[in-house]
């Protein structure tokens, strides 16, 4: 991979002197969805697929960026002293630009242009965080090239800030944290209220993590993501008139049931209910995994999907078809949508001997019902960012 990327860099920018090669993973969330901006828990893991970059300082004030995934866009060039968001003009390059803008917000850490060639093997808009992967990758590569100090957690926080302030998506910390802090064969049990985290080894005793990609394209920016977040904030504000809490993630299910009538709006009550119950499910799921009760972990994944479908309403016919078909296949321990929803992917835990049958049955049903193909990936849990 390294040689191939360096050869491409040479083709695009001429010469590979001082060029270094970096990688950052994608992520999949096993359980704890739409809890991260509600001060709840999440349980994601980094993948071995992700985004690569070849990068070097170029001695100019101009950054030049090229993606092998979007060759037809050619080189995006911009001045490090004049960085602004432009969806049409810069397209994918807005993500690394946002990171540079945030790095230079208070002090000029990136004081020289770079040449950067990018290649990702995460399916785009799949819900496996290709954008967070690119953000963390950029921050990591710049830290290495410019030699400033920044911990991996600060890289995650800065990348989230780029997404919030530069791109305009009000995402939580889960994706950037999972990518920056990824650890092979482990999921990350993260309390998003405090950023306290714990690695949990994923031992599936003969089962595999299978991702099904709906191929329904979505961008978080045009989705209803920000709307869901505001609905939760409105519900929280109502509850705060009765209870002294900072986030929905502080409530037990009993406390929520006792106070929920104050919300006074049926839709917002369901949104808040999901946030509270999903947080508790995540705690239960991690406890089940620690107790080696993988069947219970799977049942909680299924319940998570039902809640995202009925109360949070972020699934849609594509994800529901993938998950509801998966539930009928022998050897499926659990299956749910993963990520923001509204398209994207599902994650399923499937016994090894049933994986082929799973892919065939779910794939055939999806094609006949939805009219286009789903793609399947049997994935491994990988490490955070590295230099190759």
- Interface with ligand GLA, residue 366, by CB under 6 A: no
Q: Which one among 8, 175, 250, 311 touches ligand GLA, defined by CB under 6 A?
A: 175
Closest to 265 measured CA to CA, from 306, 245, 236, 240: 236
x/- contact string, 145-174, with ligand GLA (CB under 6 A)? --------------------------xx-x
Q: Which residue's CB is nearer to ligand GLA, number 64 or number 268?
A: 268
- Interface with ligand GLA, residue 274, by CB under 6 A: no
- Interface with ligand GLA, residue 189, by CB under 6 A: no
Count residues near ligand GLA (CB under 6 A).
10
x/- contact string, 324-343, with ligand GLA (CB under 6 A)? ---------------xx---
- Interface with ligand GLA, residue 311, by CB under 6 A: no
- Interface with ligand GLA, residue 33, by CB under 6 A: yes
- Interface with ligand GLA, residue 37, by CB under 6 A: yes
What token pair was written down for 152?
């991996």
- Interface with ligand GLA, residue 247, by CB under 6 A: no
Q: Which residue is nearest to ligand GLA (CB)?
A: 171
Residue for token digits 């995402």?
171
Q: β-strand 62-67 against 114-120: which pairing, if any?
A: parallel
Q: Which one among 21, 34, 47, 161 touches ligand GLA, defined by CB under 6 A?
A: 34
Q: Is 3 exposed, middle or buried (0-12, 13-18, 19+ CB in 10 A)?
A: exposed
Please confirm, yes or no, whether 191 is among the known catalytic residues. no
Q: 17 near 46, Cβ under 8 Å? A: no
Order of strands, sheet of 386-387, starting from the edge strand that comes earlier in the sequence: 76-79, 62-67, 114-120, 44-57, 20-29, 386-387
Q: Which residue's CB is nearer to ligand GLA, number 113 or number 123?
A: 123
Q: Is 12 exposed, middle or buried (0-12, 13-18, 19+ CB in 10 A)?
A: middle
The CB-of-38 to ligand GLA minimum distance in angstroms stands at 9
- Interface with ligand GLA, residue 36, by CB under 6 A: yes
Q: Which member of 18, 36, 111, 175 is catalytic?
A: 175
Residue for token digits 């999921």?
187
Q: Which residues contact 386 (CB under 8 A, 6 or more apart)?
A: 22, 23
Q: 369 near 214, Cβ under 8 Å? A: no
Closest to 156 measured CA to CA, from 110, 190, 200, 115: 190
- Interface with ligand GLA, residue 278, by CB under 6 A: no
**Helix (H, G, I), strand (E, B), or coil: what is residue 253?**
helix
Given the rule CB under 6 A, which residues bind ligand GLA? 33-34, 36-37, 171-172, 174-175, 339-340
Q: Point out the residues that are catalytic.
A: 175
């Amino acid at each position: 991979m390294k040689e191939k990327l360096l050869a491409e860099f040479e083709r695009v920018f001429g010469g590979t002197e001082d060029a270094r090669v970096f990688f950052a993973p994608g992520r999949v969330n096993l359980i704890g969805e739409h809890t991260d901006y509600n001060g709840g828990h999440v349980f994601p893991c980094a993948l071995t697929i992700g985004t690569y970059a070849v990068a070097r300082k170029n001695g100019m004030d101009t950054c030049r960026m090229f993606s092998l995934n979007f060759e037809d866009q050619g080189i995006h060039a911009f001045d490090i002293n004049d960085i602004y968001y432009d969806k049409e003009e810069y397209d994918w390059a807005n993500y690394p630009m946002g990171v540079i803008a945030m790095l230079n917000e208070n002090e000029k850490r990136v004081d020289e242009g770079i040449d950067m060639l990018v290649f990702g093997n995460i399916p785009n808009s799949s819900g496996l965080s290709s954008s967070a992967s690119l953000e963390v990758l950029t921050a990591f590569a710049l830290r290495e090239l410019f030699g400033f100090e920044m911990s991996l957690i600060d890289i995650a926080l800065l990348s989230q800030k780029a997404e919030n302030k530069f791109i305009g998506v009000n995402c939580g910390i889960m994706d950037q944290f999972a990518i920056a802090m990824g650890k092979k064969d482990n999921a990350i049990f993260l309390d998003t209220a405090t950023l306290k985290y714990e690695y949990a080894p994923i031992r599936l005793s003969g089962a595999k993590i299978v991702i099904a990609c709906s191929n329904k394209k979505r961008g978080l920016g045009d989705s209803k993501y920000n709307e869901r977040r505001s609905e939760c904030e409105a519900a929280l504000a109502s509850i705060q008139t009765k209870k002294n809490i900072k986030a929905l993630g502080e409530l037990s299910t009993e406390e929520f049931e006792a106070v929920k009538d104050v919300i006074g709006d049926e839709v917002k009550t369901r949104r808040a209910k999901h946030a509270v119950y999903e947080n508790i499910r995540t705690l239960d799921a991690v406890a089940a995994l620690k107790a080696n009760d993988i069947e219970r972990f799977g049942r909680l994944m299924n319940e998570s999907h039902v809640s995202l479908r009925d109360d949070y309403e972020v699934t849609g016919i594509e994800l529901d078809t993938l998950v509801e078909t998966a539930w009928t296949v022998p050897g499926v321990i659990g299956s749910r949508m993963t990520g923001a929803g509204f398209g994207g992917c599902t994650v399923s835990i499937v016994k090894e001997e049933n994986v082929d049958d799973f892919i065939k049955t779910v794939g055939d049903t999806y094609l006949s019902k939805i009219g286009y193909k789903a793609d399947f990936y049997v994935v491994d849990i990988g490490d955070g960012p590295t230099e190759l």
